[in-house]
Amino acid sequence: MTGPRGLNEMNATDGRGGHAERASGAAPDRDAERDHDQDVDEALALVREASAGYEDGQGKRPGAGRPGAGRPGERRPGERHAPHADQHRPDNPRPDNPHPTNPHPRHQGTPWPQARDRAARAAESVARRSPASVPLDQALGLVLAAPLTALTDLPSFDTSAMDGWAVAGPGPWKVRDEGVLAGQSGADALADGEAMPIATGARIPREVTAVIRSEHGRTDSKGRLHAEREVMHGQDIRPRGQECRSGDQLLPARFSVTPAVLGLAAAAGYDSLPVVPRPRVEVLVLGDELLTEGLPREGLIRDALGPMLPYWLRALGAEVIAVRRLGDDAKKLREAVAGSQAELVVTTGGTASGPVDHVHPTLRALGAELLVDGVEVRPGHPMLLARLDERRHLVGLPGNPLAAVSGLLTLAEPVLRTLSGRIAPVPYLAPTRDEIHGHPHDTRLVPVVLRAEPQLVAVPLHYNGPAMLRGIAASDGLAVVPPGGAKPGQELEILDLPWTLPSSPTTHDTNSAEGCFT
C-alpha cells in the first residue's frame, strides 16, 4: 500500500499496537475495579482488546457491548470518579457518594451531546466582533458576514465559448482578415454573410448570430467559410448574464469561504469580502515535564500539544494569538488567564486533582463560572468549560494528548463555531466495520479510517489510548461510540477532522518571555 490510506490500513489491522500502553493502564489494583472504577475497567477491557487484536491480527474486539450499559444521562449513583469537580462543589456534598471517607469522590460529568450543545450556546451571549472587510487572499476559511451578491452580470458580455469563427446570418461567409482574441474589444459589427476568426473567451462582435468551432468549418480557395454541420442560432455563444445578473445572491451569509468561493467572488467582481473575524484564542500549555526539542529524557517528555493545537484551532476558525508555555506555575497561570485578550483561552493539562493541577483553583480564584466540569466521554473526561467574564471563555483540555483532542472537538469546536458564525456541520453516519468496545456509561471517541468496501465503512484504529496520538494521526475522523459499544454494521456518527480548511497559525509565540520549561 502506498499513500496515507495505505498507512491507515496498516494501523487499522496491526493488532500489536497499544499493547504496552494498555497494559500499563491496567496497573491499578483490583479494589478499584471492584469499586466500579471506570478508568481501570476500561483499561482492562482495552488490554483484552489489544491482546485479542495481537492474537488474531484482525483488530476484532471480543467482549464488547457489556451488559447493563446505559445511555448518556443514565447513571447509577456513585459511578463516576473524577475527583476534582466535586472538590470544587462544596455546596453539593453528593449524598449518593458511597465513599464518604474518600477524599476523591466520584463526580457526575455532563453527557457528551449536552456538553457540546452547552459549549455552542455559551458563546452565543458573547458580543460578536464587527464584520471585517478582508482582501480575497486573506479570506480563505472565514465565514461570510453578508450574502455574496453579484457585482456584475456573469458573463458580463456575450462571449465565445469556442475557438473558431463568429458568423452573421446564413453561410457561406466571407472571412475577415482580422480576428478577435479574449481580452480585446472594439471589433466592428459583422454584416450578414461575414465571418471573423474568434478565440474562446473573446467578446462577441455585434450582429454575430453564431460561433462555428474551428473543427466544424473549412475555408475554400476563395477564402469563404463553409459550415460542415448545421448552424443553430446562438450556438457556442455564452450570453451575458447566463450565470447571474448583477444583484443576484450567489451565496448566503454564514457560508464558509472555500477556494471555490474565492474564485466565484473574484469572477463576480470582489476585491475583498465581508467576513466574521476569527475569534482570538490563546493557548496556555501547562506542565513542568515538557520539552520543546530533542528526545524525551529523565522523566521529561516532548510537548505534543504546543505544536499541534495552533494549527488545529486555526482550522476550526480561530486566530491563535499566542502559545505560551507556563510550566506548573499557579501564579503565572492566574496572571496569564486574567490578562488574556483572547475570547477563548485554551489550557492544556492541569485539569485533574494532582498537586500541580492548577486549573480548577485558578478558575475559582478568578471567580470564573464553570459551565461544564467533566464530560461523560473517553478519553478526555476531565475537560472543562468556564466563563471568565462576559466576553471570554476558557476551555481546559486534559494533558493526555488524545484526551486533549477529545476536549478540543467536544468543547472548543462548538465555542469557536458559534464565535465565528459557522453553521453546525450536518452530522453524518458510517457503519463500523468492526465491533468497538464501549465504555459502560460514557461516550467513546475512537479514531477511524473511512473506506469504501464498496459502501462507506469506518474502520476503528488501534493506538487509541488517551496518551496516544498514533491512531488519530493516521485517521480520517473520530467515531462517536455510544455507551456499551458498537456492533459491526452499526451506524456511528463521525466527527470529521478539519484538514480541508486552511492552516497556518498567525502567531506561534513559543519563545515568549514566559519561556519554555525544559
Ligand X SMILES: Nc1nc2c(c(=O)[nH]1)N[C@H]1C(S)=C(S)[C@@H](COP(=O)(O)OP(=O)(O)OC[C@H]3O[C@@H](n4cnc5c(N)ncnc54)[C@H](O)[C@@H]3O)O[C@H]1N2
Residue 304 grid coordinates: 505534543
Instruction: Closer to ligand MOO by CB, 314 or 444: give it.
Output: 444
Determine, following the binding rule CB under 6 A, whether residue 352 of this chain makes contact with ligand X.
yes
Cα(486)–Cα(65) distance, integer angstroms: 7
Which is nearest to 304 in space by CA: 320, 325, 280, 282? 325
Q: Under the phi-then-psi rule, with left for phi > 0, alpha for psi from -120 to 50, and beta for the rest, what region is 476? A: alpha
Stretch that binds ligand X, among 198-206, 281-289, 333-341, 434-442 (CB under 6 A): 281-289
State the DSSP string of 432-488.
BSS-B---SSSEEEEEEEEEESSSEEEEE-S--STT--HHHHT-SEEEEEPTT-B-T
Determine, following the binding rule CB under 6 A, whether residue 287 of this chain makes contact with ligand X.
yes
Which residue do the cell numbers 486534559 mark?
Answer: 398
Q: Could you give the 3-state DSSP secondary structure of residue 256?
A: strand
Which residue do the cell numbers 497559525 mark?
Answer: 505
Residue 296 C-beta: closest distance to ligand X, Å: 10
Cα(374)–Cα(469) distance, integer angstroms: 21
Determine, following the binding rule CB under 6 A, whether residue 301 of this chain makes contact with ligand X.
yes
Q: Could you give the 3-state DSSP secondary structure of residue 244?
A: strand
Interacting residues with ligand X between 199 and 238 (CB under 6 A): none
Residue 61 C-beta: closest distance to ligand MOO, Å: 18
Determine, following the binding rule CB under 6 A, whether residue 381 of this chain makes contact with ligand MOO.
yes
Stretch that binds ligand MOO, among 135-143, 247-255, 374-382, 486-494 (CB under 6 A): 374-382
CB 483 within 8 A of CB 443: yes
- Kind plus residue range of the DSSP H or E element containing 371: strand 369-373
Residue 316 C-beta: closest distance to ligand MOO, Å: 20
Q: How many residues does the chain have?
A: 518
Determine, following the binding rule CB under 6 A, whether residue 25 of this chain makes contact with ligand X.
no
How many residues in the shown chain lie near ligand X by CB under 6 A? 29
Instruction: Closer to ligand X by CB, 444 or 451: give it.
Output: 444
Check residue 80 and report its DSSP letter.
-
Stretch that binds ligand X, among 2-10, 125-133, 234-242, 300-308 (CB under 6 A): 300-308
Determine, following the binding rule CB under 6 A, whether residue 305 of this chain makes contact with ligand X.
yes
Residue 302 C-beta: closest distance to ligand MOO, Å: 18
Instruction: Closer to ligand MOO by CB, 83 or 466: give it.
Output: 466
How many residues in the shown chain lie near ligand MOO by CB under 6 A? 9
Check residue 423 and report its DSSP letter.
P
Site string for ligand X, 51-90 (x = CB under 6 A): ------------------------------xxx-------
Residue 512 C-beta: closest distance to ligand MOO, Å: 28
Determine, following the binding rule CB under 6 A, whether residue 444 of this chain makes contact with ligand MOO.
no
With the C-alpha atoms ordered 468, 474, 480, 484, is the resulting torsion angle positive or negative? negative
- Kind plus residue range of the DSSP H or E element containing 274: strand 272-276
Peptide bond into 62 cis (omega under 30): no
Determine, following the binding rule CB under 6 A, whether residue 285 of this chain makes contact with ligand X.
yes
Cα(230)–Cα(210) distance, integer angstroms: 11
Cα(118)–Cα(74) distance, integer angstroms: 19
Instruction: Closer to ligand MOO by CB, 362 or 400: give it.
Output: 400
Interacting residues with ligand MOO between 383 and 422 (CB under 6 A): 398, 400, 403
Residue 272, CA atoms < 13 Å, CB-side half-sphere: 8
Stretch that binds ligand X, among 88-96, 170-178, 400-408, 476-484 (CB under 6 A): 400-408
CB atoms inside a 10 Å sphere around CB 299: 6
Determine, following the binding rule CB under 6 A, whether residue 373 of this chain makes contact with ligand X.
no
Site string for ligand MOO, 447-486 (x = CB under 6 A): -------------------x--------------------
CB 337 within 8 A of CB 362: yes
List of residues 6+ apart from 441 with CB closer than 8 A: 38, 69, 70, 72, 74, 75, 79, 80, 376, 483
Residue 209 binds which one of ligand X, ligand MOO, none, with CB within 5 to 8 A depending on kind? none
Among 310, 380, 414, 471, binds ligand MOO (CB under 6 A): 380
Instruction: Closer to ligand MOO by CB, 72 or 466: give it.
Output: 466
| Phi and psi at residue 371, to the nearest 5° | -90, -35
Residue 300 C-beta: closest distance to ligand X, Å: 9
Instruction: Closer to ligand MOO by CB, 48 or 240: give it.
Output: 48
CA–CA distance from 136 to each of 140, 142, 280, 493 (Å)?
7, 11, 20, 34
Residue 33 C-beta: closest distance to ligand X, Å: 15
Give the residues lining the site for ligand X (CB under 6 A).
81-83, 104, 285, 287, 289-290, 301, 303-305, 348-354, 357, 379, 381-382, 398-401, 403, 466
Give the residues lining the site for ligand MOO (CB under 6 A).
378-382, 398, 400, 403, 466
